[in-house]
């Protein structure tokens, strides 16, 4: 049986793409910047105009900076693309998933209008890392909105948190909620992205999240076939 094809818009270095690949999709990525480490077929292009025909499903991770508290502090202006992306994907009639941060305007629960949202957390997948004898957990809450129903998973918060954000110099910082260890090695291990660099991982979602979603998409595609 042919592997279904998934278009990954705003693909970055391929955190989301790898999860869909593991779930059983052939993935094609699109990003406006070169992504030399993206592990699948890649097109450098604007996701807002890239043709959407020829795929079985579409994922989009528009930039989150416009909705993020940290970036608001810098008073930098970033495009708010979620609504425009949702409109484009709805028009295709294909199954789609849009991912973004908690402060974005994505759905976070099942809706009567056919759009559903779930929130995923690294603790639901048991994602932990040991640094200098201390175990830390990944939370990295992300919303996933879809026009197909997706099963949710609950958080299981129990350990100090490790933060995977920020670019620039590696600077371990002890905070109230845990420890931010920014080394590339720690990021690769806890996020499950051994092919990506430190800054790419800061923008990525863990493949575990989209593997969970991708398996559900594939089941629904098979059921509809």
Ligand X SMILES: C[S@@+](CC[C@H](N)C(=O)[O-])C[C@H]1O[C@@H](n2cnc3c(N)ncnc32)[C@H](O)[C@@H]1O
Binding residues for ligand X (CB under 6 A): 10-16, 30-33, 46-48, 61, 63-64, 203-205
CB of 67 to ligand X, least distance (A): 11
Distance CA 181, CA 51 (A): 40
Q: Return the number of other C-beta atoms located less than 10 Å from residue 72's C-beta.
A: 13
CB of 52 to ligand X, least distance (A): 13
CB of 192 to ligand X, least distance (A): 11
- Closest to ligand X by CB, 117 or 160: 117
- Closest to ligand X by CB, 94 or 101: 101
- Coil vs helix vs strand at 225: coil
- Closest to ligand X by CB, 83 or 135: 83
**Tokens of residue 147, six digits:** 């026009």
CB of 29 to ligand X, least distance (A): 9
Asked if 148 and 95 touch (Cβ cutoff 8 Å), the reply is: yes
**Tokens of residue 166, six digits:** 């920020």
- Closest to ligand X by CB, 14 or 122: 14
Distance CA 7, CA 85 (A): 13
């Amino acid at each position: 049986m042919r592997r279904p094809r998934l278009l990954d818009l705003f693909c970055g270095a391929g955190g989301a793409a790898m999860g869909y690949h593991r779930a059983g999709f052939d993935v094609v990525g699109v990003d406006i910047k070169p992504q030399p480490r993206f592990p699948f077929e890649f097109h450098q292009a604007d996701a807002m105009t890239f043709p959407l025909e020829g795929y079985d499903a579409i994922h989009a991770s528009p930039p989150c900076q416009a909705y993020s508290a940290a970036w608001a502090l810098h008073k930098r202006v970033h495009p708010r693309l979620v609504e425009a992306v949702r409109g484009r994907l709805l028009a295709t009639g294909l199954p789609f998933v849009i991912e973004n941060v908690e402060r974005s305007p994505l759905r976070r629960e099942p809706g009567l209008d056919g759009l559903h949202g779930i929130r995923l957390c690294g603790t639901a997948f048991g994602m932990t890392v040991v640094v200098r004898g201390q175990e830390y957990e990944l939370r990295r809450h992300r919303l996933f909105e879809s026009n197909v129903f997706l099963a949710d998973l609950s958080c299981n918060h129990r350990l100090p948190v490790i933060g995977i954000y920020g670019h620039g110099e590696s600077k371990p910082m002890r905070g109230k909620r845990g420890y931010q260890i920014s080394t590339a090695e720690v990021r690769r291990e806890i996020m499950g992205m051994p092919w990506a660099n430190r800054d790419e991982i800061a923008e990525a979602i863990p493949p575990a999240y989209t593997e969970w979603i991708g398996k559900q998409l594939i089941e629904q595609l098979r059921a509809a076939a």
